[in-house]
Structure 1
Amino acid sequence: MQKRTSFILGLLVGALLVGAAGTATYYGWVRPRHVNEMQVLKKNYAAENSSLRRRAKGLRKTATSAIPAPQNTNIDRLTPASEAALNKKLQAEQFIGTVLLVQHGQIILNKGYGYADAVTKRKNTAASLYQIGSVQKSITAVLIAQLIASGQAKYTDNLHLYYPQIPASDGITLRHMLNMASGLAYTAPAPKTVLTDNQLLAYVLQRVTFNPAKLGHRDYQPVNFTLLAGIVEQLTHQSYEQVVNQRIFAPLGLKANDAGFQWHMIEQPSETVSYGTKPNAGLYAQPVAQTLADMHSELGTGNIYATSNALYQIEKATVDGKLLSAAQVKTLRNSSNGVYGGGAYNFADYYVSHGVKNNQEVVFAMAKDGQTAAILMTNRASAYLQWEDWQKWYYRFAQNAATD
């Protein structure tokens, strides 16, 4: 019995040491190295080629010294009974992050749960920033729809007009790409060095493949939106980052502490540390870092961060006439029955989106009029296989929750 007890104690001590070692490695080496990468990249911007020079000129000034400290802006209008039901659900899912719920056009909950940074004991709040992952594709789709509305492109444009080197590009349209039905795929590993947009697109173009059997059939392939982002750059003669800043963030009054590109997130006081979901480990036992090369490789598909409210404002502005007209939205998102179209999964009266990047995850559902919404943003991705169930449960909860 004494030997068994000693063995169990040994296992527990060993697990604690492993967790502590992982955290120490992250804060003692990985994170400082990442911060240093950011500083070196900024110092070298002036020496980069023309694409990065254009980007540098268009960046918003986000010096940390000029950014106010984050404030706890949590909103909670739920009755005690509704609050208890929500907390029970979140606790069962071991959720850490921020939840935003909208009912009848009013935010009834915007609240943080768990830690943004477990080491410093900084909690998640309504102001916490998260990577939105593939939800960014809806932003890329809006940019394409804006360019079509201005007569600079058409849904029926063949990809050959922009990338003639892609096989069968004369039979692939922008509509095919927006609806993930182009037959294109890209499975090569992400670049290991930081590339400019032009360099990344060249890298992708050398490795993209085409399957004629999948042309016209839904097949989720992010490369479609990387190429669409490249088309945005071709038509505007600006970097994708500049276009998003000018056409999406600026009109909505969003600043760097609301939304931005991933390489700026570390400058923000409300950034969140990513945590892994290693079996039998604690919620915060496995901090995860991301390289600059990986961030830059997600052009148009997954390198934007936002608060829950900023993401809601962007998506609501899409459907209420600020970014696109109602007719333009209807044309863009031309699918139904939960089928992917125009950067989202569309149903009769609402649409959903889902993004995962660097162990951060977003589950998003919103009515087509923006009056009901449920947004879950987490810095410990855990809903990847259950996200469709999540969006249904939390959307229904937002519709029916009792409020004070």
Structure 2
Amino acid sequence: MKRTQHYRMKNQLWRRAFVAILVVIVLCVCSLYVIQYKPMTLNSEPKAVKHTTKPASEGIIKNLNQNVLLKNNNLADSFNTQLKDSGFIGTALIVQHNHVILQQGFGYADKKENRLNDAQSLYQIASIQKGFTATLIMKQIHAGKLQLNTLLSQYYPNIPDADKVTIKEMLTMTSGLTEKMDANVFTTEAENVAFDAEHTTVLNSSNWSYQAINYRLLSGILMKITHKSYSDLFNETFNKKYHLNVLDYKDFVVDPHRTIGYKNADYSQLASEKPLSYAFETGTGNMAMSAGNLYTFYRLLTDHVILNEELLNMMWQHPVTSNYAGGMYHYDESSIGHGFKLGFEPTVILTKNGQDAVILMSNENARDKSWKPLAKHLFAQMTAIKIIK
């Protein structure tokens, strides 16, 4: 009896030992699998997770370059009437709650040729281009080539106070820099910016001041970092990758959808066309596009497609002394982009998520007149958001 019990105990011990050994073997095999197929060290970064949630803009930006006047929509009808009564010339795009309710052309794209403005008409975007330049800068920050506190002296050491000016201060135009003169001959974008750098000086005040030199120098920094022309970098990013169909001046003037800039509402005075003036605006105002594609650009930003949320917040974070940052003016509930250029005036007003927007792209810019108040008025009617400035 005792011998039987002894054998039973011995068999149980062997079973337990076998099970323990088996568990150890399984754990070792699993560990080897993880090490071989899913390497991860303290210094490595996890692979990006593919989000299955589609961007909110995906549906709205597919067919934006089409004329739209939403039927049975009182607001669309009202806006259409107000735009006509105001004498607006250009293309208006109105987005309410993530739906285009109106996209219409008003007046002539080319009066001489009797060609009317429509959803496909192309307009100079003037200073709104600074938002594109800021986006290119943020992409270099994401790539680890720049930081917001990188000093201007790293790229342009001969500019006065360059050792005190940061990338962030140029993005917000709080650098205290200005330009003494423009060149009278254009060769290349890089040489143009080099001339600007040689003629940059310091303002008497360190307060916020809207000075295009900030973004021309940012364009120069982009060219130094990437070893590409600004135009090539711009085209690779916004046209080849995001299909925004932005045209520089030489392509704009021969495009069948281009608009002619006028100085008055009766089309009797054409705005002067100065190729040299556009050439000097490297990174600051020499590109053209449609209203729909401009809205697409902003939706790709607000939906964090071009830049992630952290980078976008960094780009649009303005100083306490002004509301300007990254090519726009930012308020609690909205952001505004605006510009003037030789008969053209673009205005963009949108909510923080981009799902409500008023875009007026005009090819008529009369002296002492602006379409910006009309855009603000329409936006306030649609959203009940008042913009003081």
| C-alpha distance 103-128 of structure 1, shift in aligned 2 (>3 A) | same
Aligned residue number for residue 213 of structure 1: 205
Any idea what SS the aligned residue of 1:107 has? Answer: strand
Any idea what SS the aligned residue of 2:183 has? Answer: coil
Q: Distance in 1 between matches of 2:316 and 2:74?
A: 37
Aligned residue number for residue 262 of structure 2: 275
Any idea what SS the aligned residue of 1:275 has? Answer: coil
Once superposed, what is the RMSD of the aligned Cα atoms?
2.2
* TM-score, normalization by structure 1: 0.75
Aligned residue number for residue 232 of structure 2: 242
* TM-score, normalization by structure 2: 0.77
Matches within 5 A, 1:81-92: 81-92=74-85
| Amino acid aligned to 2:262 | Y
Equivalent pair of 2:89/2:107 in contact (CA under 8 Å): yes
Of 204, 224, 232, 2:196 maps to 204
Return the structure number with greater relative CO, CA threshold 8 A, min gap 6: 1
**1:199-251 alpha-carbon deviations (Å, 9 max, x no partner):** 2112212221112631xx21100110010011111111111111111112222
Any idea what SS the aligned residue of 1:376 has? Answer: strand
2:377 maps to 1:393: yes
Aligned-pair distance for 1:72? 8.4
Aligned residue number for residue 25 of structure 1: none
Aligned-pair distance for 1:394? 2.3
Equivalent pair of 1:318/1:324 in contact (CA under 8 Å): yes
| C-alpha distance 384-244 of structure 1, shift in aligned 2 (>3 A) | farther
| C-alpha distance 385-187 of structure 1, shift in aligned 2 (>3 A) | farther
Aligned-pair distance for 1:387? 5.2
Aligned residues: 320
2:174 maps to 1:184: no
Q: Distance in 2 between matches of 1:395 and 1:357?
A: 23
**1:15-69 alpha-carbon deviations (Å, 9 max, x no partner):** xxxxxxxxxxxxxxxxxxxxxxxxxxxxxxxxxxxxxxxxxxxxxxxxxxxxxxx
Aligned residue number for residue 44 of structure 1: none
Higher helix share: 1
2:250 maps to 1:263: yes
Aligned residue number for residue 307 of structure 1: 290
Equivalent pair of 2:360/2:371 in contact (CA under 8 Å): no
Matches within 5 A, 1:94-113: 94-113=87-106
Aligned-pair distance for 1:174? 0.6
Q: Distance in 1 between matches of 2:149 and 2:329?
A: 21
| C-alpha distance 348-78 of structure 1, shift in aligned 2 (>3 A) | farther
| C-alpha distance 383-353 of structure 1, shift in aligned 2 (>3 A) | farther
Q: Distance in 2 between matches of 1:248 and 1:83?
A: 30
Q: Distance in 1 between matches of 2:80 and 2:305?
A: 34
Aligned residue number for residue 40 of structure 1: none
- Percent same amino acid among aligned pairs? 31
Of 270, 277, 294, 1:294 maps to 277
Equivalent pair of 1:100/1:107 in contact (CA under 8 Å): yes
Any idea what SS the aligned residue of 2:288 has? Answer: strand
Aligned-pair distance for 1:107? 1.3
Q: Distance in 2 between matches of 1:327 and 1:293?
A: 38
Q: Distance in 1 between matches of 2:202 and 2:81?
A: 46
Q: Distance in 2 between matches of 1:398 and 1:130?
A: 25
| C-alpha distance 72-243 of structure 1, shift in aligned 2 (>3 A) | closer
| Amino acid aligned to 2:267 | Y
Aligned-pair distance for 1:283? 1.9
Q: Distance in 2 between matches of 1:396 and 1:138?
A: 23
| C-alpha distance 341-155 of structure 1, shift in aligned 2 (>3 A) | same
Aligned residue number for residue 123 of structure 1: 116
Of 125, 139, 153, 1:160 maps to 153
Structure of higher CA gyration radius: 2
Aligned residue number for residue 356 of structure 1: 340
Equivalent pair of 2:76/2:102 in contact (CA under 8 Å): no
Aligned residue number for residue 360 of structure 2: 376
Aligned residue number for residue 31 of structure 2: none
Aligned residue number for residue 14 of structure 2: none
Q: Distance in 2 between matches of 1:87 and 1:186?
A: 42
| C-alpha distance 231-246 of structure 1, shift in aligned 2 (>3 A) | same
Q: Distance in 2 between matches of 1:81 and 1:73?
A: 20
**1:74-132 alpha-carbon deviations (Å, 9 max, x no partner):** 11115474355324432443210000011111211111000000011100000000000
Q: Distance in 2 between matches of 1:108 and 1:139?
A: 26
Of 290, 294, 299, 1:316 maps to 299
Matches within 5 A, 1:38-57: none
| Amino acid aligned to 2:189 | D
| Amino acid aligned to 1:238 | K
Which consecutive residues of structure 1, in runs of 5 or more, have no partner in the other structure?
A: 1-70
| C-alpha distance 72-371 of structure 1, shift in aligned 2 (>3 A) | closer
**1:153-211 alpha-carbon deviations (Å, 9 max, x no partner):** 000011000100100100001111000101111252x4343331122112212221112
Aligned-pair distance for 1:366? 1.2
Equivalent pair of 2:190/2:223 in contact (CA under 8 Å): no
| C-alpha distance 78-157 of structure 1, shift in aligned 2 (>3 A) | farther
Aligned-pair distance for 1:385? 5.6
Q: Distance in 2 between matches of 1:138 and 1:118?
A: 31
Equivalent pair of 1:126/1:307 in contact (CA under 8 Å): yes
